[in-house]
Structure 1
Amino acid sequence: MSSHDELARALRELKTTLIEAELWEVSPPDPQAFDSQQPFCVDTMVLPQWLRYVFMARLQALVDARATLPASCAVAPAMEVWLKDVPASRREPVVRELAAVDRIVTQA
């Protein structure tokens, strides 16, 4: 299986996990929110918005185009911090699936 195929599968699994954790149904950010220069758009979006509308969308576009993937990826630690007050039953599956995405991108 190619790294693009592996990443496509991991993104589907991440989406399912975010839906189950009730973190997928976040409203789209305002168009100007995408102009942020801060990591994870922390000044204009909540992390689930950034994850869905920026991170996952960009990775899916790279998969679809079979384009070069980023050299590294480390989003899981940020999500773990953001979800620190969420019960482990919701937090751990999200962090685990994000760590899988991080690993696939970094090893590609």
Structure 2
Amino acid sequence: MQRWHGLADALLELERELRALDMWSMQPPSIAALSSREPFCVDTLSFELWLQWVFIPRMVQIIESDGVVPPGCHIQPMGEEAFAPLGRRGHGLLVIIGRIDQQAARLAG
């Protein structure tokens, strides 16, 4: 399980940063919103909601089951677009997302 430490730490940092930026929702999205077939649920969720309610739980599930990380995670470009309006405030968030991409690529091997 040690191979997962870097990714698990980055996911925890992502949650902390989303909370610090007041982008963490206490209200879950509807089942319909979560059922989108579009990448990142772009038609039904903001990127931060997708991270919170789809991406983080899925990655935690993979870690806990010692599963397989899908190749080509590459969420940083979407993060750069979605969080551009934050300017400098979003820098830390993008650094963390970049770290997640790096860890996922390493694990997908």
Normalised by the length of structure 1, the TM-score is 0.90
Which ranges in structure 2 are unaligned for 5 or more consecutive residues?
none
CA RMSD in angstroms, aligned pairs only: 1.5
Tell me by how many angstroms 1:86 deviates.
1.2
Tell me by how many angstroms 1:26 deviates.
5.7
Structure 2 vs 1, CA of residues 2 and 72 (structure 1 numbering), >3 Å: closer, same or farther?
farther
Tell me by how many angstroms 1:35 deviates.
1.6
The CA distance in 2 between the partners of 1:19 and 1:101, in whole Å, is 17
Match in the other structure for 1:73: 73
Residue correspondences, number: 107
Give me the identity figure in percent. Answer: 28
Match in the other structure for 2:24: 24
The CA distance in 2 between the partners of 1:72 and 1:44, in whole Å, is 22
Match in the other structure for 2:64: 64
Which ranges in structure 1 are unaligned for 5 or more consecutive residues?
none
The CA distance in 1 between the partners of 2:26 and 2:50, in whole Å, is 10
Secondary structure at the residue paired with 1:29? Answer: coil
Secondary structure at the residue paired with 2:85? Answer: coil
Match in the other structure for 2:91: 92
